[in-house]
Amino acid sequence: MAASSGLVVLTAFGGRVAVLVALATMGLVGWALLASSAQIKVSHGELVAGRARIPVRFVGTVRELDRGAMSALRGPRADARAYLCQRGWISGGVAVEISDAQDPVPYWLLSSRRPAQLAQAIREAAPGQAHSRQTS
C-alpha cells in the first residue's frame, strides 16, 4: 500500500513528496494493524479474547498447547461450537474449558506466543466455571 500510494503522487508532485506519502501510508497501515489486532487479557474479573469475554469465575480447566496440540484443535479434533481467537502464524496456545452446562461453547482456543504465561494468568484469576458471552 505504501509503494502504491507513493506511485500515485509521484508524477504530480515528484519523488520527495512520493517518498513522504509512502512513509506516511506505511505508518498509518502499521498503526491500523496494531489497533485492530485481537488482544487477549485477564483483567477486572474477566477473560477477554478479541470480542468475546467471560467472567473468570466461569472458566474451567486451562491447558497449555504446543504446536501439535494446537494444530489438532484447529483441525481434526476441532469442535465447531468452540470460540477461536487465533492467528495461524502463532504455533502455541491455550485451551480454556467452559464448564457451564448452559453454555453451548465447550472451550476457547486462544493463540499465544507465551502460552505458559497466559495459562498461568488465567489460572490465577479463575477460581470457578460458567457462562461465556460473545459480542460483535
Q: Is the pLDDT of residue 16 over 90?
A: yes
Q: What is the pLDDT of residue 132?
A: 40
Looking at the fold, whether 64 and 16 belong to one and the same domain comes out as no
Looking at the fold, whether 56 and 92 belong to one and the same domain comes out as yes
Q: What is the pTM of this model?
A: 0.71
Looking at the fold, whether 18 and 31 belong to one and the same domain comes out as yes
Looking at the fold, whether 23 and 46 belong to one and the same domain comes out as no
Looking at the fold, whether 71 and 105 belong to one and the same domain comes out as yes
Q: What is the pLDDT of residues 82-115, one digit of tens each?
A: 999 988 889 999 999 997 778 899 999 999 999 9
Q: What is the C-alpha separation between 133 and 130, in angstroms, rounded?
A: 10
The cell numbers describing 107, all together, are 472451550
Question: Domain range spanning residue 31?
Answer: 2-36
Domain count, the chain: 2
Looking at the fold, whether 31 and 89 belong to one and the same domain comes out as no
Q: What is the C-alpha separation between 7 and 29, in angstroms, rounded?
A: 16
Q: What is the C-alpha separation between 128 and 44, in angstroms, rounded?
A: 15
Answer yes or no: are the C-beta atoms of 113 and 94 closer than 8 Å: no
Answer yes or no: are the C-beta atoms of 121 and 42 closer than 8 Å: yes
Looking at the fold, whether 77 and 118 belong to one and the same domain comes out as yes
